[in-house]
């Protein structure tokens, strides 16, 4: 992973995935090794979550962190918090993405945090803005020792 700069306007963050055959990849992210695979029913080995599940994980966890941040900025303590991201498949894409928030905090408290959290959530902001995807071809990166 390469990070350039801080969380500023032009900072970058990269994750590399190495294909290991079949429907399986290994990715290095933040110093962690992640396995990406498809279920056996789709021709994979089921050795790890599907790429779309990692996307939903990124969405749910980023929004949970954004809610916690928004609460903290307002002096609100959340006793517990869970965010579920659900995607509805429509061919090779999601046609609908939904975040569901659960907490022991009062519904009114959580509802006041929804918009402020959406404003600072990198993942949901990126998905909502749908930036163009550019594809470049480069020399093979060095695979990390396993």
Give this prediction's pTM: 0.86
Nearest to 83 by CA among 107, 106, 57, 48: 57
Q: What is the pLDDT at residue 79?
A: 86
pLDDT tier, 140 (very low <50, low <70, confident <90, very high otherwise):
confident
H helical segments located in the chain? 51-73, 107-120, 122-129
Please provide residue 71's backbone torsions phi and psi, each rounded to the nearest 5 degrees: -65, -50
Is the pLDDT at 84 greater than 60? The verdict is yes
d(CA 9, CA 30): 20
Rounded average pLDDT over 19-39:
94
Count CA atoms closer than 13 A to 107's CA, side-chain side.
1
Mean pLDDT of the residues in the chain: 91
The average pLDDT across 51-69 equals 97
Confidence of residue 4 (pLDDT cuts 50, 70, 90): very low
Taking only the tens place, the pLDDT of each residue in 93-115 is 999 999 999 999 999 999 999 99
Q: Categorize the per-residue pLDDT at 12 as very low, low, confident or very high, splitting at 50, 70 and 90.
A: confident
| CA 48 from centroid of its chain's CA atoms | 15
Residue 92 CA to residue 90 CA, distance in Å, equals: 6
């Amino acid at each position: 992973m390469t990070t350039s700069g801080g969380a500023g306007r032009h900072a970058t963050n990269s994750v590399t995935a190495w294909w290991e055959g079949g429907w399986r990849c290994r990715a290095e992210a933040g110093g962690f090794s992640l396995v990406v695979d498809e279920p056996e029913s789709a021709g994979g080995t089921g050795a790890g979550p599907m790429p779309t599940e990692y996307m939903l994980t990124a969405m749910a966890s980023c929004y949970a962190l954004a809610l916690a941040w928004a609460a903290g900025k307002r002096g609100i303590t959340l006793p517990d918090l869970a965010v579920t991201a659900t995607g509805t498949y429509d061919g090779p894409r999601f046609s609908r993405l939904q975040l569901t928030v659960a907490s022991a905090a009062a519904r009114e408290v959580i509802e006041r945090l929804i918009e402020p959290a959406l404003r600072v959530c990198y993942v949901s902001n990126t998905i909502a803005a749908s930036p163009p995807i550019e594809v470049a071809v480069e020399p093979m990166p060095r695979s990390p020792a396993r």
